[in-house]
Amino acid sequence: MPHNRKLFELVILGCSGGPISGKTCSFLLKPTDVKTIDLINGNKEAKDSFFALDAGTGLSSILSMLDTKGKEELNTIVSSFLLNLYPNCTDVTDSKETIYEFIDTRNMEIKSPFQDIEEIDVWKGNDTARSNKQLSNYQISDILLNSINGYLITHSHLDHVCSLVINSPSFKKKKSVFGIPFTIDSIQKNLFNDEIWPDLVSKELIDLHKIKPEVRYTNISTRYSITAFELSHGKKSDGTRYLSTAFLINDVKEDYNLLFFGDVESDLSSGTEMNSKVWNHVSPLINDDKLNSIIIECSTVDIPPPLFGHLIPTHLINECLNLRKKCIDLLNKSSKKLLPDDDFYRDYKEQPLEGLNMIIIHVKETLDNVNPRKLILKILKDLNIKYNLKIHFTIALSGISLLL
């Protein structure tokens, strides 16, 4: 069973699948032993291990978290935004209680981000604008933005890159952006093309780095190594495949991993084995207790096709069955030929995915006044029991940090 070592802090800036702007997928990642105050102080080692995962939202979300900091024990003010869209099924009077309905804390911890900067008496420079030693929240958010070592971008859809564009006037020096060649080519050609936005690459404000799929990069950060996997995110109108990315982030110091998926469709929909390849790679890590959390999308409840390159609960469970099969097959070579939904796996004594956190992102908002997060979680939990997977499903909410 994977154990939570609370080595990663994942700050959820945005996790909605749209269509409300300013709330789409964007996360900040740092080791839990790196404090926000270290970033504010410009500690080099701290900044080296501070990453953005996608950029659907940025400064505005950091700022709203800072503005509500300290007002609630848990930042329910920010995290309740997505819940309050559905007043019919949210008891708004007790939003803290509601958060725990969506987040399974049996094998993770949650906290409010940026709480350790209560007393900003830290300015050591000569900048007269800051001579009163009291930084404004906007100044703090700007420092945090500029502390980011690099952006790991899963794909170039606007709901995953727009803050990279809009926040770019704040970049004090060259900002590194990492992605598979498909993503980087698209960002250069379609975003920083001197038409819809200035070519910041030529102006040396953005540094685009192509990373080869399935190659472990150890030179991006001294703390984290990064491996990218290509995913299928549906097809373009010309019939060619649109690629997205999963990033496997390894904490080199602790030899512990986190797996983060961009938008993705099931192998069942794509007719490929692209997800299966990711599961091949991470199943030994799960068996060795070196990975206990996967962040993955589930955009809607089960709906008939077309799914536009996204996951629905039954397809996600299908992927989980495939992952479990690979974990068990590593331990028990005789089962290899069985199908993933074979009773053999359901009845296997030591369930390899027991306690694994599957953190659901990219839920699309709906207009029927029923929170789609509730519906998706219910289907996932029912199927989790049916197949005896023992996974801990969590629905991500913005405004909080997960310690994984």
Minimum Å gap between C-beta 62 and Zn ion is 20
Half-sphere exposure of 247 (CA within 13 A, CB side): 24
Answer for the pair 257, 292: CB distance below 8 angstroms, yes or no. Answer: no
Tell which positions 63-122 bind Zn ion, by CB under 5 A: none
Minimum Å gap between C-beta 315 and Zn ion is 16
As a 3-state breakdown, the chain gives helix, strand, coil percent values, each rounded to 5, of: 35, 20, 45
Interface region with Zn ion, contact rule CB under 5 A, candidates 194-202, 256-264, 314-322, 375-383:
256-264
54 near Zn ion (CB under 5 A)? no
Quick one: 263 or 319, whose CB is closer to Zn ion? 263
Q: Which residue type does 376 have?
A: I
263 near Zn ion (CB under 5 A)? yes
Quick one: 15 or 391, whose CB is closer to Zn ion? 15
Residue 245 φ/ψ region, left for φ over 0, alpha for ψ in the -120 to 50 degree band, beta for the rest? beta
| SS3 state of residue 385 | helix
Interface region with Zn ion, contact rule CB under 5 A, candidates 81-89, 136-144, 200-208, 262-270:
262-270
Minimum Å gap between C-beta 301 and Zn ion is 17
Quick one: 233 or 325, whose CB is closer to Zn ion? 233
Helical pair 372-386 and 95-102, crossing angle rounded to 10 deg: 40
Minimum Å gap between C-beta 122 and Zn ion is 37
**What's the rounded Cα separation, in Å, for the pair 244 and 360?**
17
Answer for the pair 366, 324: CB distance below 8 angstroms, yes or no. Answer: no
Interface region with Zn ion, contact rule CB under 5 A, candidates 91-99, 224-232, 263-271, 384-392:
263-271
Please tell me what DSSP assigns to residue 391. Answer: -
Minimum Å gap between C-beta 369 and Zn ion is 23
Q: Dihedral of the CA atoms 156, 161, 166, 167 (nearest 10)?
A: -130
Quick one: 159 or 265, whose CB is closer to Zn ion? 159
| SS3 state of residue 254 | coil
**What's the rounded Cα separation, in Å, for the pair 189 and 183?**
10
- Neighbouring CB atoms inside 10 A of 172's CB total 10
Q: Using CB under 5 A as the criterion, what x/- string covers residues 293-332 for binding Zn ion?
A: ----------------------------------------
Interface region with Zn ion, contact rule CB under 5 A, candidates 65-73, 136-144, 255-263, 330-338:
255-263
Quick one: 104 or 263, whose CB is closer to Zn ion? 263
Q: Cα 27 to chain center, whole Å?
A: 6
Minimum Å gap between C-beta 50 and Zn ion is 23
Minimum Å gap between C-beta 126 and Zn ion is 43
Q: Using CB under 5 A as the criterion, what x/- string covers residues 149-168 for binding Zn ion?
A: --------x-x---------
Q: What is the 3-state secondary structure (H, E, C) of 201-224?
A: CCCCCEEEEECCCCCEECCCCCCE
Give the contacts of 237 (CB within 8 A, at least 6 positions apart). none
Answer for the pair 200, 168: CB distance below 8 angstroms, yes or no. Answer: yes
Quick one: 38 or 159, whose CB is closer to Zn ion? 159
Quick one: 179 or 355, whose CB is closer to Zn ion? 179
Minimum Å gap between C-beta 264 and Zn ion is 9
Quick one: 47 or 157, whose CB is closer to Zn ion? 157
Binding site for Zn ion (CB under 5 A): 157, 159, 263
